[in-house]
Amino acid sequence: MALVPCQVLRMAILLSYCSILCNYKAIEMPSHQTYGGSWKFLTFIDLVIQAVFFGICVLTDLSSLLTRGSGNQEQERQLKKLISLRDWMLAVLAFPVGVFVVAVFWIIYAYDREMIYPKLLDNFIPGWLNHGMHTTVLPFILIEMRTSHHQYPSRSSGLTAICTFSVGYILWVCWVHHVTGMWVYPFLEHIGPGARIVFFGSTTILMNFLYLLGEVLNNYIWDTQKKPPSWQDMKIKFMYLGPSS
């Protein structure tokens, strides 16, 4: 895709996330008034991650346009840092956390919605906002992955980062339960301590798997160096360059 359409697309996605966050925060739900507020829900944390990520994408696009052809080495150095931050955020947070939220939410919702998203919430959250939080995240991040190449960090550092995030959120959920006596997600009330440990361990493993999935998908989309040129490509090149003298 051309640079300008990608810029417009990223800006539109960023604005959509800003709208979703503003509408979500404007809802007066009882859970927003309790300890931890919206920050105890992974869905809200993911929305913030996606908004920050696409904000960095837009900033990177603007910086790229401003530094193009300037020859300023300092500006190019800053642009490279911005691109590195953008790529790191997609690899470690935006893709695995976004896909996790969409997949786990709809799987549990299909099994028994009361375990993850009680029907009572329909009185507070309209359908379009629910899909904005739990559905469109996936196509948005796939569009970004398809329109721009992202350099993944080393596998060891990437997996360490996603494990740190996963364990940190699990500890945060446990701390909220310790303070309030209530679990953030209703289904955790209906399973025993052993099952909770298995569930938390499984979610951490799933996060690691999604990180690896993102890496494989990114390489599949963009790794064309290993592909030998086709006969058609060689023929076109020969037609333009002519036979070597």
The sign of the CA dihedral 122, 126, 128, 133 is negative
∠114-45-96 over CA atoms, to 5°? 90
- The confidence score (pLDDT) of residue 66 equals 78
- Residue 50, C-beta contacts closer than 8 angstroms, at least 6 positions apart: 17, 94, 98, 137, 140, 141
The per-residue pLDDT for range 170-200, each reduced to its tens digit, is 999 999 999 999 999 888 888 889 999 999 9
Confidence of residue 244 (pLDDT cuts 50, 70, 90): very low
The per-residue pLDDT for range 148-177, each reduced to its tens digit, is 889 999 999 999 999 999 999 999 999 999
pTM of the model: 0.85
The per-residue pLDDT for range 116-148, each reduced to its tens digit, is 888 888 888 899 999 999 999 999 999 999 988
Assigned token pair, 220: 């599949």
Least confident of 70-74, 79-83, 232-236: 232-236
49/114: higher pLDDT: 49
- DSSP collapsed to 3 states, 110-173: HHHHHHCCCHHHHHCCCHHHHHHHHCCHHHHHHHHHHHCCCCCCCHHHHHHHHHHHHHHHHHHH
231/43: higher pLDDT: 43
Report in angstroms the alpha-carbon separations of 7 from 13, 57, 80, 151, 173.
10, 8, 18, 19, 37
Question: What does pLDDT average to over the chain?
Answer: 86
CA 214 to CA 96: how far, in whole Å? 7
Confidence of residue 240 (pLDDT cuts 50, 70, 90): very low
The per-residue pLDDT for range 84-114, each reduced to its tens digit, is 999 999 999 999 999 999 999 999 899 988 8
Residue 230 has pLDDT above 50, yes or no: no
Closest C-alpha to 45, from 173, 204, 141: 173
203/5: higher pLDDT: 203
CA 120 to CA 122: how far, in whole Å? 5
